[in-house]
Structure 1
Amino acid sequence: MTEQKYSLDEIRIRLNELDDNLLQLLSERRKMSIEVAKSKVQTSKPVRDAEREQQLLVKLINNGLDKYNLDAQYITKLFHTIIEDSVLLQQSYLQNLANPELSRKPLARVAFLGAKGSYSHLASREFFSRKNTELIELNCEGFKEVANTVESGHADYGVLPIENTSSGSINEVYDLLQHTTLYIVGELTLPIEHCLVATEEIRLENLTTLYSHPQPHQQCSEFLGRLKGIELKTCASTADAMQMVRELNRPDVAAIGNASSGKIYGLQPIKGNIANQTENHTRFIVVARKAVEVSPQIPAKTTLIMSTSQAAGSLVATLLVLQRYGINMTKLESRPIMGNPWEEMFYVDVETHLDSEAMQNALLELTKITKHLKVLGCYPSENVKPTQVQLG
């Protein structure tokens, strides 16, 4: 038997020291990322430099293998996260320069669905965490209330979920966008980690009642289908579901929520990994009364809504305009137009700046061949594509 050189307590003390050193280094690296952004203001270079990122990763992978016995996959995964954070920090800095009136506001009133601990609440905090803005949080009971709270001036921003990788598009939000006067000013993709939470550790067969928002219910349908004899009750948000379980304080009741938010309500996870898909993400949009300026150095998205005539090939004609100008479409969603049977409104996300020559030329052509066309917003793309590495 190998003799232990250090006691477990000594090992843990050393690990804590190393972890603290890592946090300090990550903090220093973040400060340097801001310095990089400042230098790019002078040179007008884009935030992302694919060649530089690839060279950095190759060097780190080789050093990790040769000097520290760290495998390539571990280093790649770690630095993809660090690079993503650096890119988003630089984008936030440049956006503040492009919108100085927003950066001067120390407070932001943000409306979202549900109470503290809802996924919309978590998305709100995540989005504004890079903007050094203190939040006044306004929880709402429905998506329409979120939009109305911003439109009325009682909130500066609204955060709305718009699509999920498991359950698809959130139609109620798309329908809201058809009639709102608000603009999309940002986006965020949040990992969704559903689990069952309850007041105490219990066996699944002892559950009689389960509370959930309709979206998590749909995203966990396969797991829920295997539960027998359980009454499913709908709540306005995941936070409301967890709050209900806390108030009932019964050992036979649980909610679909997430572990971190469950702690807010004194609940503990009793079953994890219950979603239909292990990679479960929700995309949120941030809306405001005024559109934002997007720095040309930042990758941007533009969202349009349009309707076409019912003549054969009308929709195809609009999409060919985008193709002709080399504009990449990332989303196409259709929704019925209320009061106009068999007519549809199309929502289109494209990866380009609204002010780019290609987009302006495309809009001129689209205006001529559509019945209705509106720009819902141009905003920084939060989708940081991982740097591809080719090792020789």
Structure 2
Amino acid sequence: MATLDEIRQDITQLDQELLALLAKRKGLSIEVARAKQANPRPIRDHQREQELLVALIQKGRVLGLDAQYITQIYHTIIEDSVLSQQAYLQSLLNPQQQEPMTSVAYLGPRGSYSSLAARKYLARYKDQVIEVNCQNFREILDVVESGRAAFGVLPIENTSSGSVNEVYDVMQHTSLSIVGELTYPIEHCILTAVPTELNRIKILYAHPQPLVQCSHYLSKLEGVRHEICDSSSSAMMKVKELASPDAAAIGSAAGGELYGLHVLAEQLANQKENYSRFIVVARKPIDVVPQIPAKTTLIMSTSQQPGSLVEALLVLRNHDINMTKLESRPVQGNPWEEMFYLDVSANLQTPEMQAALVELTNITRYIKILGCYPSEDVKPTTVPPVLMGNM
């Protein structure tokens, strides 16, 4: 029989071969994008993806591999392929984004969820990123508007705690454009600087959002005082500085690792699947390749007459434009007046969207486009149960 070391060497060799194959597959994905550039076609072909998954599940079962295992792996591979193709085509249409180095502003020091999201987003576009730490959302916009950073990353909503209202409020008064989005998994942990027990914790440092998102779990911790911090990374830095068995922070395991913290408890969120959606802003708008699914974000103020909002939304329906988000926020300085934020699944350059904007301009008091950008909501390809049952 092979020794444990020999078995581990074989596993290491297989892992290296897998990495080489994944890199080769990624390269072929870019070749597919080039072919679709020459002969414009949508990035995603759902029928082909479904057929691929069915064939792989059938082949995998012969090899003793579980169907769920295969679908999880290939959902990740397909998502990366789609986003890589989108990034490639977008770089051709927007040559100003092809520079290898850029800068990004986000909330808190490194290790915050915003910093992790910024790194994930820009990794597909840039080789080197200079990070600019900010203390609040207004500062992020100021840094980008002044040219001290090329991009800003801001959280806009969370599946557990809902919209980040402060971001909507500061976006009312910016000249920046939304140029991208991403959804990032939020996996809250209780982190400590020294090994300790959960019942010894007396003070918990956290940003307000994680406190809301983990309220059910935290309600069971008796005698623990909450101390508000301006970011999750600030909370982790404070705990590291104190190095006390009585102090803990809420943050990510990846962020905690940067600060040498220990994970005391995990999976704290009220919802099992906890995600935050981030927007990426820049000084100039971008164009979106027609074959890429696009989103357009706009703000508008309707008249105070009954049914005025319904009338505006009917314009979208009449042009077959799907609205994915509607958020109302008070207009600062104008009591009882509201500004409406809308996300629609449409490319700003399409005739349907242009016609809808003309009509909306005629019936609203104010309208402004905040940005048109690629949608990064890559929904997993489904395999019909009837096909699964026949395998």
TM over 0.5: yes
Map of 1:381 onto structure 2: 375
Deviations along 1:312-331, one digit per CA (max 9) or x if unpaired, are 11111111111111111110
Structure-1 residue corresponding to 2:39: 43
Q: In the alignment, which residue of structure 2 is the partner of 1:263? A: 257
Structure 2 counterpart of 1:247, from 236, 241, 250 = 241
Q: Match for residue 369 of structure 1?
A: 363
Equivalent residue in structure 2 for 1:285, among 275, 279, 288: 279
Distance 1:350 1:43 in 2: 27
Aligned to 2:178: 184
Distance in 2 between residues matched to 1:237 and 1:96, nearest whole Å: 32
Q: Which residue of 2 aligns with 1:93?
A: 88
- Alpha-carbon deviations, 1:330-372, whole Å to 9, x = none? 1000001112111110000011100011101111111111111
Q: Find out whether 1:22 has 2:29 as its counterpart.
A: no
Runs of 5+ consecutive residues of structure 1 not aligned to the other structure? none
Are 1:76 and 2:71 counterparts? yes
> Of the candidates 122, 133, 142, which is equivalent to residue 139 of structure 1?
133
- AA aligned to 1:125 is R
Who is 2:123 aligned against? 129
The answer to which of 9-18 and 280-289 deviates more is: 9-18
Aligned to 2:303: 309
Aligned residue among 319, 325, 347 for 1:353: 347
> Is residue 2:117 matched to residue 1:148?
no
Q: What secondary structure, in the 3-state scheme, does the structure 1 residue paired with 2:172 have?
A: helix
1:209 matched to 2:223: no
Alpha-carbon distance between aligned partners in 2 of 1:12 and 1:133, rounded to the nearest angstrom:
33
Amino acid corresponding to residue 143 of structure 1 in structure 2: F
Tell me the distance in 2 between the aligned counterparts of 1:222 and 1:69: 40
Distance between the aligned counterparts of 1:357 and 1:258, measured in 2?
A: 44
Q: Give the C-alpha shift of residue 152 in structure 1.
A: 1.1
Give structure 2 stretches of 5+ with no counterpart: none
Contact 2:33 2:43 (C-alpha < 8 Å) held by counterparts: yes
| Greater displacement, 56-65 / 165-174 | 56-65
Residue 25 of structure 1: how far off its partner (Å): 1.0
Q: What is residue 233 of structure 1 aligned with on the other side?
A: 227
Identical aligned pairs, as a percentage? Answer: 58
The normalised TM-score by structure 2 is 0.97
Q: Which residue of structure 2 lines up, in the alignment, with residue 65 of structure 1?
A: 61
Partner Cα separation in structure 2 for residue 323 and residue 70 of structure 1: 45
User: SS at 2:263's partner residue?
Assistant: strand
Partner of 2:327: 333
TM-score, normalized by length of structure 1? Answer: 0.96
AA in 2 matched with 1:126:
K
Q: Answer yes or no: is the 8 Å Cα contact 2:103–2:131 preserved in 1.
A: yes
Measure, in 1, the Cα distance between the counterparts of 2:34 and 2:22. 19
- CA drift of 1:163 comes to 0.2
* Partner-residue secondary structure (3-state), 2:303: coil
Q: What SS class does the counterpart of residue 362 from structure 1 fall into? A: helix
Q: For structure 1, which segment, 159-168 or 219-228, has the greater mean C-alpha deviation from structure 2 after superposition?
A: 219-228
Offset of residue 72 of structure 1: 1.9
Distance 1:24 1:237 in 2: 38
Residues in 1 aligned to 2:260 and 2:69: alpha-carbon distance in whole angstroms: 35
Describe the SS at the equivalent of 2:47.
helix
Aligned CA-pair RMSD: 1.1
Provide the secondary structure at the position in 2 that maps to 1:115. coil
Where in structure 1 do 4 or more consecutive aligned residues deviate above 4 Å? none
Q: What is the alpha-carbon distance in structure 2 between the residues aligned to residue 319 and residue 65 of structure 1?
A: 49
Q: CA deviation at 1:133?
A: 3.3
Deviations 1:282-306 (A, max 9, x none): 0000001100111111110000100
Q: CA deviation at 1:52?
A: 1.6
Which AA in structure 1 matches 2:22? L
Whole-angstrom CA distance in 2 between matches of 1:203 and 1:277: 25
Name the aligned partner's letter for residue 73 of structure 1: Q
